[in-house]
Amino acid sequence: MYDDDERERPSWREIDKKKDRSRFVREDKPQYQSKKSKSVIANYKHKLKEAFRTGKVAEAVDKLEGDTPEKQLRRENLRILATSGDADKFMAAFRWYIDQNYEEIDPEIFNRAIDFERDELTLMALTALKTKKNVREILDKKNIFEKLSLLQMTSRNIQIKYIVRDILNLGGER
């Protein structure tokens, strides 16, 4: 056997070097930020909070990514869907919205579409709703369920009556 004295032992300096080279060792050195980088981060956070507060996150992202004609069209159509009282403009924007093939339909947009009392727009909205994932979620909103029930009873268009019946059956009994 070897004597403890005969074996060459590493010095403390060599042991420390091995520790420093290990990939499992974390560096505990604090990372310092300059005042300029802190102010840039603070300014960015402030602008982000402001965008969320005002509801203009999409516009803020568009500024960062660059504005394209597709983004302008999207923004304009979503604005029309949210605020327009003109049925023709709303119908064109709603067609665009349906063509985007979203998996779900926004309950507010659907609600506005059936409020216009135009058979073509109502049929488009009802047909789109039948294929979306969130039919039950939309029907859970009391005012929409009641509107559809009333629409089924009062509509003169037989297609609307049948589609509403199918949708109400999809949503289940209340």
| pLDDT at site 8 | 79
Where is pLDDT greater, at 174 or 98? Answer: 98
Q: What is the mean pLDDT of the segment spanning 19-27?
A: 61
Asked if residue 32 belongs to a domain, the reply is no
Q: How many domains does the chain have?
A: 1
Would you say the C-alpha torsion 46, 47, 53, 57 has a positive or negative sign?
A: negative
Asked if residue 100 belongs to a domain, the reply is yes
- Quick count: other Cβ atoms within 10 Å of Cβ 118? 16
- Quick count: other Cβ atoms within 10 Å of Cβ 143? 9
| pLDDT at site 20 | 61
The residue range of the domain holding 136 is 86-174
Asked if residue 7 belongs to a domain, the reply is no
| pLDDT at site 24 | 61
pLDDT in tens, 97-122: 988 878 888 888 888 888 888 889 99
pLDDT in tens, 121-172: 999 999 888 888 888 888 888 788 888 999 999 999 999 999 999 988 876 5
Q: What is the mean pLDDT of the segment spanning 94-98?
A: 90
Contact 129, 104 (CB under 8 A): no
pLDDT in tens, 43-81: 777 877 777 777 676 677 666 666 678 878 888 888 888
The encoded tokens of residue 46 equal: 């402030």
Asked if residue 28 belongs to a domain, the reply is no
**Weakest-pLDDT range from 17-21, 37-41, 106-110, 145-149:** 17-21
| pLDDT at site 139 | 84
Asked if residue 56 belongs to a domain, the reply is no
| pLDDT at site 159 | 92
Asked if residue 158 belongs to a domain, the reply is yes
Where is pLDDT greater, at 36 or 82? Answer: 82
Asked if residue 37 belongs to a domain, the reply is no
Please calculate the CA angle 149-150-151 and round it to the nearest 5 degrees.
90
Asked if residue 75 belongs to a domain, the reply is no
Contact 137, 117 (CB under 8 A): no
Helix, strand and coil percent figures for the chain, each rounded to 5? 70, 0, 30
